[in-house]
Chain A
Amino acid sequence: MNSNIEMKQLIIQNIRNDIQSQNPIFINLALQCVVNIGDKEMAAAFTNEIPRLLYQDIIDSVKQSAALCLLRLHRTSPESLHLNTERTGRIIHLLNHQHLGTATSAVSLIDALVKRNPDEYKGCISLAVSRLSKIVTSSYTDFQDYTYYFVSALWLCVKLLRLLQNYPSPDDRSIRSRLNECLDIMLNKAQEPLKSKKVQHSNIRNAVLFEAINLIIHMDCESTLLVRACNQLGQFLQNRETNLRYLALESMCLLATSEFSHEAVKKHQETVINALKSERDVGVRQRAVDLLYAMCDRSNAQDIVQEMLTYLETADYTIREEMVLKIAILSGKYAIDYKWYLDVMLKLIRIAGDFVSEEVWYHVIQVVVNRNDVQSYAAKIAFEALQAPACHENMVKVARYILGEY
């Protein structure tokens, strides 16, 4: 079809007729067609026709398709979309649209536009916050068909939280306190007893919660919220659902990087190490390794490196290389005692010699060369390591150098 330009013109003309028709079903189907094909020619033909549908007095279902259609064309060719200030203002105001479906698809569009041009769409912050607070403070029965397993308007909620993550914490004090209030309510809601035993209900509650935590981490300025988020995730680490443990480990990794919550994350070290030993899913174990790496500092480095070394002996081949690198970095970064460092590194080469890259063992030699006080110790343990019945090639290389020099 690509080569047949005449054919394409005919198709585009037909779609245009449908878009201009009066029947909303025809318009919708035409929009869906544009989205599904959505190539450059279509973008050129329709990008500046579709915004009209967003402002016109037209049935809501058309508006929401039009928003997503515009989003698709914007992704195909961002340069063909031109909106003046008045039009951007009207698009932003779709956030306040009383029809939830329209607001939901509008958020997706605005999110993409914001990513391209954050300043021009700054107005959306206050609107998004006020919409969010309306949702979280009202009862789930207010939303009728948009309530999903007792959680109201969750798709919209999650998308609003995502949208806010495009900006730093709001400058305006009243907006910021309102947003913090919302996040606070969301964290409180997580403590309420479940309204249903269905897995969907708990999933969806946590979907919103995780997105709220993401926003808290992104803003990274409210220490009370951060610590509360961390405690909440700590509870999830012991949850029966593998999915929740997986996500909790992943989010905690981010929390560990914030100065406010780093200490709070460290309290869960024991649990995470247990996860490393007992989890049956390699994906979850991988997350646990990532988290241990993220929470490591001078105070707990020795323990963590020791645990990782123990685990490395039985670890899956797919994650070994990454683990070796992590152990090498941690022990190099937080080493106080160089004898300890050498012990760790030689053990590392012994356990997983195949996965030790050249940079790693070069670094060992560098340390030995620069530190006079450990040279004799290094020679001693290198010699001992060579006594083993089977020795890895990398071990022989390191030992050869050290024994040759000292």
Chain B
Amino acid sequence: MIQFILLFSRQGKLRLQKWYTSQTEKSKKKITRELIATVLSRKPKMSSFLEWKDLKIVYKRYASLYFCCAIEQEDNELLTLETIHRYVELLDKYFGSVCELDIIFNFEKAYFIFDEFILGGEIQETSKKSVLKAINDQDVIQEEELEEKRSVLEDLGLA
């Protein structure tokens, strides 16, 4: 089971975080700080895996962003590496060649994609098409509701 996923930039700024086990705010901050420092200090030729307390950390760098996943002892490292890659592919497809700014300004979408792809720390849907369809369906509903509100406001002469 995936314990948590962190996305951070090369400068050490946290961009996304998803926790699948309950932690206090304080311990989240502490874990994040320690982990970012550890991962950033590693050299490019080193392996993508490291042991950290009783967890295994799998990370990969895409352009200026680090994707970092904490898994349990019994989990498969290479599979996690590809889980990260699949998530990046999903972001890429949704945003159309994704960059850090997309994630900063549309972080809620990135979280929605997480929810469709990984649920409660386990992989849910591995088909790219199905995930993107679910996200698009949500977008349509959101749009419709916005439209409705706008028309109500217009009826009242407020818009």
Q: Is residue A169 contacting chain B, with contact meaning CB distance below 8 A?
A: no
Looking at the assembled complex, report how far the CB atom of A253 sits from the nearest CB atom of chain B, in whole angstroms: 13
* Among B43, B119, B123, residue most surrounded by chain A Cβ atoms (within 10 Å): B119
Chain B residues 118 to 159 lying within 8 A of chain A, measured CB to CB, are 119-130, 134, 137-138, 141
Chain A residues 20 to 38 lying within 8 A of chain B, measured CB to CB, are 25, 28-29, 31-32, 35-36, 38
A243 engages B124 (CB within 8 Å): no
Q: Measured between alpha carbons, how far is A153 from B127 in the docked complex, in Å?
A: 9
B119 engages A25 (CB within 8 Å): no
B49, B76, B120, B128: which contacts A69 (Cβ < 8 A)? B120
Q: Is residue B9 contacting chain A, with contact meaning CB distance below 8 A?
A: no
Q: Is residue A206 contacting chain B, with contact meaning CB distance below 8 A?
A: yes
B85 engages A68 (CB within 8 Å): no
- Of the listed stretches A11-19, A47-55, A101-109, A225-233, chain B binds A101-109
11 A-B pairs within 8 Å (CB atoms) are namely A69-B119, A75-B120, A108-B123, A145-B127, A145-B130, A146-B126, A148-B82, A162-B76, A242-B47, A243-B48, A281-B47
Chain B residues 62 to 95 lying within 8 A of chain A, measured CB to CB, are 74, 76-79, 81-83, 85-86
B47, B86, B124: which contacts A283 (Cβ < 8 A)? B47
Q: Measured between alpha carbons, how far is A75 from B22 in the docked complex, in Å?
A: 12
> Given the interface contacts A101-B125, A207-B78, does A32 sit within 8 Å of B119 by beta carbon?
yes
Q: Is residue B45 contacting chain A, with contact meaning CB distance below 8 A?
A: yes
B115 engages A247 (CB within 8 Å): no
Q: Is residue B100 contacting chain A, with contact meaning CB distance below 8 A?
A: no
Query: Which residue numbers of B lie inside 8 Å of A, CB to CB?
Result: 43, 45-51, 74, 76-79, 81-83, 85-86, 115, 119-130, 134, 137-138, 141
Chain A residues 23 to 79 lying within 8 A of chain B, measured CB to CB, are 25, 28-29, 31-32, 35-36, 38, 61, 64-65, 68-69, 71-72, 75
Residues of A within 8 A of B121 (CB): 72
Q: Measured between alpha carbons, how far is A100 from B123 in the docked complex, in Å?
A: 12
Q: Which residue of A lies closest to B77 (CB)?
A: A247
B78 engages A210 (CB within 8 Å): yes
A35, A153, A242: which contacts B119 (Cβ < 8 A)? A35
Residues of A within 8 A of B76 (CB): 158, 162, 207, 210-211
A32, A61, A105, A283: which contacts B50 (Cβ < 8 A)? A283
Q: Is residue A315 contacting chain B, with contact meaning CB distance below 8 A?
A: no
Residues of A within 8 A of B137 (CB): 25
* Among B83, B86, B123, B130, residue most surrounded by chain A Cβ atoms (within 10 Å): B123
* Among B49, B51, B79, B85, residue most surrounded by chain A Cβ atoms (within 10 Å): B79
Residues of A within 8 A of B127 (CB): 100-101, 145-146
Residues of B within 8 A of A31 (CB): 119
Query: Which residue numbers of A lie inside 8 Å of B, CB to CB?
Result: 25, 28-29, 31-32, 35-36, 38, 61, 64-65, 68-69, 71-72, 75, 100-101, 104-105, 108, 145-146, 148, 153-156, 158, 162, 200, 203-204, 206-207, 210-211, 242-243, 245-247, 280-281, 283-284
Residues of A within 8 A of B115 (CB): 32, 35-36
Looking at the assembled complex, report how far the CB atom of B69 sits from the nearest CB atom of chain A, in whole angstroms: 14
Q: Measured between alpha carbons, how far is A101 from B51 in the docked complex, in Å?
A: 30
Looking at the assembled complex, report how far the CB atom of A35 sits from the nearest CB atom of chain B, in whole angstroms: 5
Residues of B within 8 A of A242 (CB): 45-48
Residues of A within 8 A of B124 (CB): 64-65, 68, 101, 104-105
A200 engages B82 (CB within 8 Å): yes
A203 engages B82 (CB within 8 Å): yes
Q: Measured between alpha carbons, how far is A38 from B122 in the docked complex, in Å?
A: 14
A101 engages B130 (CB within 8 Å): yes
> Given the interface contacts A210-B76, A284-B47, does A203 sit within 8 Å of B81 by beta carbon?
yes
> Given the interface contacts A38-B120, A146-B127, does A158 sit within 8 Å of B47 by beta carbon?
no
Residues of B within 8 A of A210 (CB): 76, 78
Residues of A within 8 A of B119 (CB): 31-32, 35, 65, 68-69, 72, 105
B78 engages A243 (CB within 8 Å): yes
A155 engages B50 (CB within 8 Å): no
* Among B45, B47, B115, B137, residue most surrounded by chain A Cβ atoms (within 10 Å): B47
